[in-house]
Amino acid sequence: MASGTMLQFYDSAPLNRRFWLAFGIISLVFVLEFFDLYIVGFLVAVLGPQWKLTYGQSALMLLSAGVGSIAGSFFCGHLSDTWGRKAMIVFGTAACAAGSGFIAFIPDGNWEMFVAMRFLIGLGLGAAVAPAITLAVELTPTRHRTVMPGLMIVFATVGILVASGTAAWLLNVLGWRGVALLGVAPVIPGLLTWLVAPESMRWLVSRRRTEEARATIARQLAVPLDAVPATAEAVPQPEKPTLRELYSDPARFWFSVVVGMCLSTAGYGVYLWGPTIVAMKMNMTVKDAGQIFFYVSLVGVFGKIIMSILPRYIGRRRVGEICGYGIMITLALAGWFNDSIYGAFPLFIVFLCIGALFYDGGHSSCSPYAAEIFPVRQAAGGVGLYQAANSVGKILGPLSMAFIAGTDNLVSPKATAAAVFPAFLFLAFCGLCMGVAFTLYRNETRGRALAMGDPESPKADIRVEQAQPV
């Protein structure tokens, strides 16, 4: 039998076929969940004229999933610490699929049912994504952890692109009901998660289920059970996690809230207002401005890849600082030079493209970091807290920009030239808050094994567990 603990044994193993299979399944969760989240924009564009929707009704249809995502991330992330990562991923994907399936059969004009089903889809998104991020972090050996989970976040962008492509090529063919019905697809990675993906062996150890953890490691590495050490890491007494425990370290709690909210507020403020401002400043249609933002989004994809790899060399804290202060500088310059052209290039668009490296790319490092700074027994709850704050930012970004512009139309706000600079100064301030949060919160996780529990907790009762002999 090998020496050391079972998790040390797992961390020393190479990335094998089973790891890449789990990586693919979790990535597919991101693709299809975010497809479900973003396809609504195209559905509402079709249903608005057909159902003669008011702006208020359209707003509820667009924002209800965001509200559901807040609840799903926070509460279901916490439940994942009690019931396991796999169970909540399966629940979340099933909720998304059910909500989309019901939408396809809603009677014409029943916008209230549409809002309820979109809330269910958002709830499922939050319920699936928080434990999926946590599972990705916990399945990855420590030496690869600063890269691999971040690359999975890139697939959220793939889901957005799939939603756009589906609307462009299939909406006229299938109709809005047919496209909505495609939203049942998340049930596929849900079933694959249940049948194929492993449970987190780190979570099993944190719950003192050492025999299951040992068997999971043996299956995942395709080695005999007796090749895996029977000794597990020291763990605290596995009492049921409580929501109150998330505040056991106030600095960690507020750091997660500030970073999640500020990063999302900046990004969604740009993406939901940017095309309107570009159309106004350059005297073009919103459709043409949207095409320009395709390239901004493309830079954001490269940003996510870069910010997935960079922490391996300089650590997550430094990457967080770079992203926060990068958002501050680029968006402040975009606002200041919103009327300026250098050669043939409007500087507003140039700075938005550069900024996408930070307000898009930052998600690839910040999302896994939320799972790393909390102990394993609270990790999914910590990610849920971060994702809930992130979802608040998705709503706060466009609403705050509309407020600064002085408009009462929160669905399609009318940008004014005078509002561009103060609005982008606000987004730059969000970047500043994020950068300062990383500067003050001195917790670097690169190369460190994930903690099983907070050692200072009065419930600690730290023990080294021994699996039963084979």
Per-residue pLDDT at 340 exceeds 70 = yes
Per-residue pLDDT at 280 exceeds 60 = yes
User: What are the structure tokens assigned to 372, written together?
Assistant: 């790393």
pLDDT digits (tens, 9 = 90+) for 417-455: 567 788 889 999 999 999 999 999 989 999 899 988 765
Q: Which residue has the higher pLDDT, 359 or 345?
A: 359
pLDDT digits (tens, 9 = 90+) for 92-140: 999 999 998 999 999 999 999 999 998 999 899 999 999 999 999 999 9
Tell me what pLDDT residue 411 has.
Answer: 45
Question: Whole-angstrom Cα distance, residue 460 to residue 264?
Answer: 35
Tell me what pLDDT residue 158 has.
Answer: 83
Per-residue pLDDT at 164 exceeds 80 = no
Tell me what pLDDT residue 113 has.
Answer: 94
| Segments in 12-54 forming alpha helices (H) | 17-38, 40-51
Amino acid of residue 241: P
Tell me what pLDDT residue 465 has.
Answer: 56
Report the pLDDT averaged over residues 298-320: 93
Q: Residue 346 forms beta bridges with which residues?
A: 341
Question: Whole-angstrom Cα distance, residue 123 to residue 186?
Answer: 13
Q: Which helix (H) or strand (E) holds 466?
A: strand 463-466
Amino acid of residue 270: V
Give the CATH H-level superfamily of domain 6-237.
MFS general substrate transporter like domains (1.20.1250.20)
In the predicted model, what is the mean pLDDT of the chain? 86
Percent of the chain, pLDDT > 90?
Answer: 53
DSSP state of 219: H
Please name the residue that has the structure tokens 């500088």. 329
Percent of the chain, pLDDT > 70?
Answer: 88
Domain boundaries, the chain: 6-237, 244-406+414-440
3 state SS of 242: coil
Per-residue pLDDT at 271 exceeds 90 = no
Fold for the domain defined by 244-406+414-440: Growth Hormone; Chain: A; (1.20.1250)
Question: Whole-angstrom Cα distance, residue 21 to residue 8?
Answer: 22
Report the pLDDT averaged over residues 299-308: 92
Contact indicator for 274, 296 with CB cutoff of 8 Å = yes
Question: Whole-angstrom Cα distance, residue 354 to residue 453?
Answer: 39
Question: Whole-angstrom Cα distance, residue 71 to residue 124?
Answer: 10
pLDDT digits (tens, 9 = 90+) for 43-53: 877 887 888 88
pLDDT class of 460 with cuts at 50, 70, 90: very low
Question: Whole-angstrom Cα distance, residue 94 to residue 99?
Answer: 9
CB atoms within 10 A of CB 446: 18
Question: Whole-angstrom Cα distance, residue 223 to residue 221?
Answer: 6
Question: Whole-angstrom Cα distance, residue 35 to residue 254?
Answer: 30
Report the pLDDT averaged over residues 158-176: 81
pLDDT digits (tens, 9 = 90+) for 174-213: 888 998 898 899 999 999 999 999 999 999 999 989 999 9
Tell me what pLDDT residue 413 has.
Answer: 47
Per-residue pLDDT at 405 exceeds 70 = no
State which of 136-150, 269-283, 390-404, 415-429 shows the largest mean pLDDT.
Answer: 136-150
Contact indicator for 247, 235 with CB cutoff of 8 Å = no
Q: Which residue has the higher pLDDT, 162 or 378?
A: 378
Q: 6-237 and 244-406+414-440: same fold?
A: yes
Report the pLDDT averaged over residues 400-420: 60
pLDDT class of 2 with cuts at 50, 70, 90: low
CA atoms within 13 A on the CB side of 72: 31
Q: Which residue has the higher pLDDT, 399 or 427?
A: 427
Per-residue pLDDT at 270 exceeds 90 = no
Contact indicator for 422, 404 with CB cutoff of 8 Å = yes
Question: Whole-angstrom Cα distance, residue 404 to residue 80?
Answer: 39
Report the pLDDT averaged over residues 299-303: 90
